[in-house]
Amino acid sequence: MTALHSVDWLIILGYFVVVFGIAWWAYLKEKQSQTTTEYFLAGRNLGWWVIGAAVFSSNIGSEHLVGLAGSGATDGVAMAHYELHAWCLLVLAWVLVPFYMRSKVFTMPEFLERRFSPINRTVLSLISMVAYVLTKLAVGIFAGGVVFAVMIPDVHFMGLDSFWIGSIAVIVLTGIYTIMGGMRAVAYTSAIQTIILVVGSACVTYYGLKALGGWDVLREWAGSEMFNLWKPLVPDGVAATWAPVKEQTRMAWYFNDNYPWVGMLFCAPIIGLWYWCTDQYIVQRVLGAQNEQVARRGSICSAALKLLPVFIFIIPGMIAFALAKSGQNAALGQAFFDESGQLIRDNAQQAFPMLVAEVLPIGIRGIVVAGLLAALMSSLAGAFNASAALFTIDFYSKLRPQASQKQVVWVGRVATAVMVLIGLAWIPVIKGGKGLYDYLQGIQSYLAPPIFVVFFLGVFSKRLNAKGCLWALIVGFSLGLFRLGVDTPIKLIADFSYTEGSFFWIINNMYFQYYSLLIFLICIAVMVVVSYLTNEPAYEKINGLTYGTLTEEDRRQSRASWNKWDVIASAAVLVAILAAYLYFRG
């Protein structure tokens, strides 16, 4: 495998100089004010392009570099459905941004408190922090280790191999600049990291296709199946339309490597809308806008950028597969296929970093490795800052209301360090799973439905009350944790029978998207039934927080915040999504 050249190392060093220079500048700015608004929301003074780049960079993290590219190598464009959910950011821009900006909240749980009650804020904060440990923190650390293990495989220190050295290095360096500069450091470094990431990843696609022989050669070796985005949604033939449902819903709910169309069509949007519209990790960047117009345009900008991963991550994964299958790259072929010619799915997680090491020239390789680090670090930095905001604003500030702004910021920095340690402890649970991206989508599928339900139903229906919201969160979260307990590679619920046909076997083997849909439907029923069996909420206390309680002044101000160019930009994103679906038809 090609080692990094001194030129590559100089470029990587330059990247770190820029990142920590920005962090130091942000630290000096934050030090002047020492306020929570400055530390957690960058003083609510971010520009729309910074917001768009920060949202994109925070999202494009380890699950894409390692997991999504790996999914491209094993399943082709099937996972592109999740990436084409850029339209969810348009829902954020046009549906929820007005409510968030009007409420002037710091966190998503705080918005839930305004709409429902303080107890709902506490429950959502707990759910969100658990979700960050299970997804963003641990996955980011794990992927950092995978990248280092591929790029610098022979490094050992104090009994640790390159995987653990890489994991620890990424998290420590990211933690330092996040703790130093807060949201301003996260946002502005993310903007720079977005440029590096997009340019670097585009280079991987270009040089990968050049090494393979072009786009037509890729289609030849990958095959029409890997280029078929519609196959998970529309099975061949009318008679087969319900076949995936029958296969997955019989008594033996076998978990296989396909993506049933019912799950992709109905479950995937639930996960997308939860993640892009209600998750603190994403929305916190939007809350840093100075007004509704900037917040909306930042969301639209990020929606446009979100279309790129199909071409800069999934396609490189497919290129790595084609290089391995065609025999044009011996190292990839040896890593991806066993002696009988069967694809080794776990090794496919190395598709992107191996492609970087094998096909890129000196100098370009340094830029791309810097891009790899940028994605890993920006994703982790966003998770650290969001976790710190949730803990300090939603817990510490409520327990210690007399605490000074300086004390709250200090506690936020300590909370970041604690989340790092918890994330490290979760890594062994991920190792040995079906795949990093599949793991992430599974966890999100278990945790997303109740949060999606309470936010969207809460905004669209003024009749739903705090008790309905609370029980929907409790029931949904309990069902999600139960599935997680029997679904992890290391069984958290291990004292029960997993023999074929048993209750725990059925729960463990039920397709994750179908289980997510079950949680979703149960949460809707619980929230509606409990709300209508109890008293109506005090409508005067939720003015401006639901469509049914908007005033004419609220509507007028919101309408004045957008113009025809915002509409045209949003329409262009939708056209691009449609074009992708029309092109990837096998």
E strand or H helix at 34: none
Residue 204's pLDDT is 87
Nearest-angstrom CA–CA distance, 331 and 335: 6
Instruction: Give the per-residue pLDDT at 30.
Output: 61
Measuring CA to CA, which residue among 273, 254, 266, 192 is closest to residue 21? 192
Residue 330's pLDDT is: 82
At 546 the pLDDT is 93
What number of residues does the chain have?
Answer: 586
Q: If we measure between CA atoms, which residue out of 201, 64, 200 comes closest to residue 139?
A: 64
Phi and psi (nearest 5°) for 337?
Answer: -120, 140
For the chain, the C-alpha Rg in angstroms (whole number) is 23
In single-letter form, the type of residue at position 31 comes to K
pLDDT per residue of the chain (586 residues) written in tens, 0 to 9: 456 778 888 988 888 888 778 777 776 766 655 566 655 555 566 788 888 888 887 777 656 766 778 888 888 887 788 788 899 999 999 999 999 988 888 888 889 999 999 999 888 888 887 777 766 776 666 666 766 776 666 666 776 767 777 777 777 777 776 776 666 666 777 777 778 878 888 888 999 899 898 998 988 888 888 888 776 555 444 333 343 333 443 333 333 345 566 777 788 889 889 989 998 878 888 888 888 999 999 999 999 999 888 888 889 889 988 888 888 888 888 888 877 778 787 777 778 878 888 888 888 888 877 777 776 777 777 777 777 777 887 778 777 877 777 777 778 778 777 777 776 666 665 554 445 556 666 778 888 899 999 999 999 999 999 999 999 999 999 998 888 777 655 455 555 555 666 677 777 777 788 888 999 999 999 999 999 999 999 998 899 899 999 989 989 999 999 999 999 999 999 999 999 988 888 6
Q: Residue 494 is which amino acid? A: A
| The pLDDT value given to residue 501 | 62
How high is the pLDDT of residue 40?
Answer: 56
Rounded Cα–Cα distance for residues 471 and 477 (Å): 10
Would you list the domain boundaries of the chain? 6-151+159-223+276-429
CA nearest neighbour of 300 among 570, 66, 62: 570
Residue 532 contacts residue 463 (beta carbons within 8 Å): yes
Which of helix, strand or coil describes residue 449? helix
What residues are paired with 212 via a beta bridge? none
What DSSP letter does each residue of 284-321 carry, written as one string? HHHHTBSSHHHHHHHHHHHHHHTTTHIIIIIHHHHHHH
Structure tokens at 360: 């890129």
Alpha-carbon span 51 to 46, nearest angstrom: 6
Q: How far apart are CA 76 and CA 70, in angstroms?
A: 9
Pair 248, 260: CB distance under 8 Å:
yes
Structure tokens that stand for 531 in this block: 């709300």
Q: What is the pLDDT of residue 254?
A: 34
Residue 472 tokens, joined: 């929907």
CA dist., res. 304 & res. 90, Å (int): 10
Burial class (CB in 10 A: 0-12, 13-18, 19+), 249: middle
CA separation for the pair 426, 433 (Å, rounded): 13
Q: Which is it for the CA torsion 475, 480, 486, 490, positive or negative? A: negative
Domain at 6-151+159-223+276-429: CATH architecture: Up-down Bundle (1.20)
pLDDT value of residue 236:
47
Helix and strand counts by DSSP (H, E) for the chain: 31, 0
So what's the pLDDT on residue 242?
40
